Copies of this chain bind each other. A is one copy, B any other.
Amino acid sequence: MIKHTTSLRVRYKETDQMGVVYYSNYLVWFEVARAELLRNIGRTYREIEEEMGLRMMVLEAECRYKSPARYDDLLDIACSVTKLGNSSITFTYRVTRDLDILAEAETTHVFTDITGKPKRMPQILREVLS
């Protein structure tokens, strides 16, 4: 299935007094990785919101932390689409620094209209995602 890797550098803001990246920041990187995966296949999440009138509401997020990320680390966030339902989508992530796996994760989202009502994924999107 569709896969894309995004590189990003750890910001000072993302560290905590343990000297490593605070755990919630990984979920922000996953958002960036999803957006870049979409951009890479010729779509943008902005377009999904503005032109298709849809939102990708998160249903579930799970992350397994293997080894801490640190300030100024250059990380790779590999992101794949691993499940496509009628109105739902699951992404899988792997965070690496060189050869080290720092974290593995999944998030599942549902397509909704602006009021939060679930909607079928548009055909045009389904095609590029599968």
Cβ 8 A contact of A13, one of B12, B22, B58: B22
Cβ 8 A contact of A24, one of B24, B57, B72: B24
Given contacts A11-B31, A27-B27, A31-B12, contact A65 B59 (CB under 8 A): yes
Q: Report Cα–Cα, A60/B62, bound state, in Å.
A: 7
A35/B65 in contact, CB under 8 A: no
Write out, one digit per residue, whether chain A residues 4-46 have a CB within 8 A of any chain B CB (1) or not (0): 0000000111011111101111011001100100000000111
B15/A16 in contact, CB under 8 A: yes
With both beta carbons as reference points, the residue of chain B lying nearest to A18 in the complex is identified as B55
Q: Report Cα–Cα, A119/B83, bound state, in Å.
A: 38
Q: Report Cα–Cα, A16/B59, bound state, in Å.
A: 16
With both beta carbons as reference points, the residue of chain B lying nearest to A19 in the complex is identified as B17
Give the shortest distance, in Å, between A51 (CB) and chain B (any CB): 13
B12/A22 in contact, CB under 8 A: yes
Given contacts A24-B27, A25-B24, A58-B23, contact A46 B63 (CB under 8 A): no
Write out, one digit per residue, whether chain A residues 42-54 have a CB within 8 A of any chain B CB (1) or not (0): 0011100000000
Chain A interface (Cβ < 8 Å from any Cβ of B):
11-13, 15-20, 22-25, 27-28, 31-32, 35, 44-46, 55, 57-65, 68, 71-72, 116
